Structures are given as structure tokens and as C-alpha cells.
Amino acid sequence: MSHENQQYFIFTSWKNSRNATQIHEELVNVEEKQALSISTIKCWIATFKDGKEEIKDKTHSECPHEAVISEKIARVEDLVSNNPYISIKELVNKVGIFHERISYILHEELSLHKLCIK
């Protein structure tokens, strides 16, 4: 399902009085890993509440990626430098941002990748 279709689903579900958590659970059941995040769903609901009911697939969400700012990147880099075996779950707890943003920072911003040793 495209992002535009998911946004339409969010809109119709919101109109039918479903909350963001319920909508996210339904999308995850259908889309699994391709489902929009709960924060994105909340942003779309806020947009609809503001009266903007236009469904378009935009290149950038109306909600900024606040999690990927230089302070967060530096914090992740410091934690990984101090403990190269730190898990993403630990990083999520220590930095306070979502798993997907931690993965993005590790892979795209810091160019770090998992190594397998035999």
C-alpha cells in the first residue's frame, strides 16, 4: 500500500472515530514493516484536525524529523564509541528517540553497519 493510500486509510479511520494507536495497529497488521509510524499517523491526524483534508503523497511529511539533529547524532556517536556492542534498544532508551531514527543515524549519518564475526 502506498503512503498516499495509508494516508487515506488514516483519514477515513480518523473520521470513523479511531485513535492513532488503533489506526497504527490496523496498518501494522496489513503493512507490517511498511506501515507508517505512530508519530506520522499522529501528525496526519493533527493535520486533518486543522482542516487540511487533502490527501497527497508529499516528498516530505509536514512533521519534521526532529530526532535527527546534530545533538542526537553526537549523543549516538558518543555512546557507540564508548561501547561498540551497545544495542539499538539501549540507544533508544538512552537517547530518547524511536528505533527507526536510531537506525537512520547509525546507517546514514554515521555510516556504521553491523559486523558479523565467525
Residue 36 is given by DSSP the state P
| Mean pLDDT, range 96-114, rounded to an integer | 87
> Tens of pLDDT along 38-74?
888 888 888 888 777 776 644 444 445 555 678 889 9
Under DSSP, is residue 112 helix (H, G, I), strand (E, B) or coil?
coil
Which fold is adopted by the domain 3-49?
Arc Repressor Mutant, subunit A (1.10.10)
**Beta carbons of 42 and 33 less than 8 angstroms apart:** no
Could you state, in order of their start, the residue ranges of all structural domains in the chain? 3-49, 70-109
Please state the pTM of the whole predicted model: 0.46
* Cβ neighbours for 47, distance < 8 A, ≥ 6 positions apart: 62
- In the chain, % of residues over pLDDT 70: 84
What sign has the CA pseudo-torsion 40, 44, 45, 49? positive
